[in-house]
Amino acid sequence: MYRDNYITALRTELLEMVSEQLTPVALRYGYSEVPLETNIKWRPQVLVLGNYSSGKSTLINEFLGTTIQGTGQAPTDDSFTVITFDDEEPDGTPIRVTEQRDGKFLLNDPEYPFESLKKHGQRFASHFKLKKVNSPFLKNLAIIDTPGMLDSITERDRGYNYQDVIGDLAQIADMVLVLFDPHKAGTVREAHTSLRDTLPSKTFEDRVLYVLNRIDECTSMTDLLRVYGTLCWNLSQITGRKDIPMIHLTYSTAAAEKNIQEDNPQATYLRYLENQREDLKNAVMQAPCHRLDNLASFVETHGERLTHFLEGMISYRKHARLFRVKSFFSGLAVSLVGGAAAWLGLMTFTPLAGFDPVLQLSGAGVLSAILFILWLTVVQKYFYGRFLKKWLRQLDHLTPLSNQTRRDSWAAIRDLLYVNLKKTEGHFSLSQVYSEYLVVKEIHETGSREIREALKELSGIDSNNWSKDMNEPVVPYWSVPESETPLEEQ
């Protein structure tokens, strides 16, 4: 299909742009610990977050069509579970877990985009796993189930920084579901931190869907409206938004049937909300459609941040060069003054006054050279250390922060620049950094615009009109090997 070939070609171009032009610079200067394309080369992902009793596992089981994740009123699983499709199982086989692998496998297999999570340590790795499931729902996406968020648990209790892990996963996810249940329409401490700090800094607002789950446990429509209103109020307080985000409503059909059978006639209101469940499912299945937009946003975001990062390096190097020029001439002046003083001393000091003037002048010159060398090797090094510490304390003065976009970009890379300057002591080639800065800036300003124009053109392509053979099986674009040359656009 021509449309799929177009998507494949565009995806290949994006990956090449990142791997060949952004990644080398990012790795060289510590902007990233792993190749940037690692985070975007796999299939679309949906991250599922929520309080421990919000019904995450139940909702996932509903999507998959069978019980894959353990469920219960108390916390049943404290692991991050990547659930992906097993395409080796023949069609018609009962849905089941076909393969399970541990965290060490996931973190070290280059097929998966989780190499950057190694930094969270062994304790996290032991709470990270993979399940392959032959559910048709997973053909075009993967789901990441997470441990339930609690109120009193700490980083020491978990053994790893939960918010950092959530942030890293949200950064590579194409969609994030945040689940609540009627009994905790308010939010626990970890949920508050995730919604207020972690998600806004790591992903875009339009990728986050809020879900009120287990609504079958509301005794009536009035009860549901009360819970819904409470959740809206709490979200407005946490997110600071005046406009309340859309909240999807859903429930387990099996649990709902049980409630209705237990002589609860008011629970029949659920049948009027069946479309809400379908809307949520359809929204999740749209994750692959957002993938190219997210890839374009990835290039734009990292192009902008890496440009700002290099701009900070260039600014520091220019200040450092000016410092060294001033220090050089200061040292030269001090050495000349010292040499002149030594020459006058030799001429006036009675025991040496009778020496040959040329010899006296040579001695003064040697002393001046020694003073200059000492200045460059000892004194200048000392003052440069103080100069570096001063700029590390006032990094914000390295670059203009004239608008909110630049302030947001600076907030994302400031600590990385601090680490880079402290580690290298500011010793790097200004000409090399500047040439790389021009390349990255070109990608940010021109490449990003061209990507958006290509996506706009793609949105105008009618896949039905562009298809030669509607019976031809469609291969998801993320499964096409990067080395495979896409067909020419027609």
pLDDT for position 76? 57
- Paired tokens of 199: 């998600």
The residue out of 285, 312, 347 marking a domain boundary is: 285
pLDDT for position 324? 92
Q: What is the CATH number of the domain that holds 205?
A: 3.40.50.300
201 plus 148 within the same structural domain? yes
Compute the distance between CA of residue 147 and CA of residue 56 in angstroms, rounded to an integer.
9
Q: 161 lies in a domain?
A: yes
- CA torsion angle 371 376 382 384 (round to 10): 150
> Which of 407, 123, 173 has the alpha carbon at shortest distance from 291?
173
15 plus 72 within the same structural domain? no
Q: 312 lies in a domain?
A: yes
pLDDT for position 245? 81
pLDDT for position 472? 45
Q: 257 lies in a domain?
A: yes
pLDDT for position 52? 82
Residues linked to residue 129 through DSSP beta bridges, in sequence order: 81, 102
279, 249 Cβ separation under 8 angstroms: no
Q: 142 lies in a domain?
A: yes
HEC readout, the chain: CHHHHHHHHHHHHHHHHHHHHHHHHHHHCCCCCCCHHHHCCCCCEEEEEEECCCCHHHHHHHHHCCCCCCCCCCCCCCCEEEEEECCCCCCCCCCCEEEEEEHHHHHHCCCCCCHHHHHHHHHHHCCEEEEEECCHHHCCCEEEECCCECCCCCHHHHCCCHHHHHHHHHHHCCEEEEEECHHHCCCCHHHHHHHHHHHHHHCCHHHEEEEECCHHHCCCHHHHHHHHHHHHHHHHHHHCCCCCCCEEECCCHHHHHHHHHCCCHHHHHHHHHHHHHHHHHHHHHCHHHHHHHHHHHHHHHHHHHHHHHHHHHHHHHHHHHHHHHHHHHHHHHHHHHHHHHHHHHHHHCHHHHCCCHHHHHHHHHHHHHHHHHHHHHHHHHHHHHHHHHHHHHCHHHCCCCCCHHHHHHHHHHHHHHHHHHHHHCCCCCHHHHHHHHHHHHHHHHHHHHHHHHHHHHHHCCCCCCCCCCCCCCCCCHHHCCCCCCCCCCC
Mean pLDDT in each 10-residue stretch from start to end of the chain (490 residues)?
70 84 93 84 90 87 87 68 90 89 91 89 93 92 90 68 92 91 77 87 87 87 89 84 83 66 62 83 84 82 94 95 93 87 68 62 82 90 93 93 91 94 92 94 84 75 45 46 42
**Quick one: how far is CA 414 from the chain centroid?**
15
Residues linked to residue 247 through DSSP beta bridges, in sequence order: 210
226 plus 339 within the same structural domain? no
33 plus 58 within the same structural domain? no
451, 15 Cβ separation under 8 angstroms: no
pLDDT for position 137? 92
- Paired tokens of 434: 């500047």
Place of tokens 């709902």: 256
264, 219 Cβ separation under 8 angstroms: yes
369 plus 456 within the same structural domain? yes
Place of tokens 């996810």: 173
pLDDT for position 307? 95
Compute the distance between CA of residue 252 and CA of residue 215 in angstroms, rounded to an integer.
9
Buried b or exposed e, range 426-465, using 16+ CB within 10 angstroms: bebeeeebeebbebbbebbeebbeebeebeeeeeeeeeee
pTM summary value: 0.73
Q: 293 lies in a domain?
A: no
Q: 291 lies in a domain?
A: no
The residue out of 285, 314, 335 marking a domain boundary is: 285
120 plus 211 within the same structural domain? yes
pLDDT for position 54? 85
Domain count, the chain: 2
Q: Is 412 exposed, middle or buried (CB count within 10 Å of its CB: 0-12, 13-18, 19+)? A: middle
198, 167 Cβ separation under 8 angstroms: yes
451 plus 379 within the same structural domain? yes
- C-beta pairs of 153-158 under 8 Å, 24+ apart in sequence: 153/190, 158/78, 158/123, 158/127
Q: 376 lies in a domain?
A: yes
Count of alpha carbons within 13 angstroms of residue 220, beta-carbon side: 4
242 plus 315 within the same structural domain? no
247 plus 357 within the same structural domain? no
162 plus 205 within the same structural domain? yes
Q: 24 lies in a domain?
A: yes
96 plus 136 within the same structural domain? yes
The residue out of 261, 285, 309 marking a domain boundary is: 285
273 plus 305 within the same structural domain? no
Domain with 8 in it: 1-41+301-490
- Paired tokens of 464: 């039905």
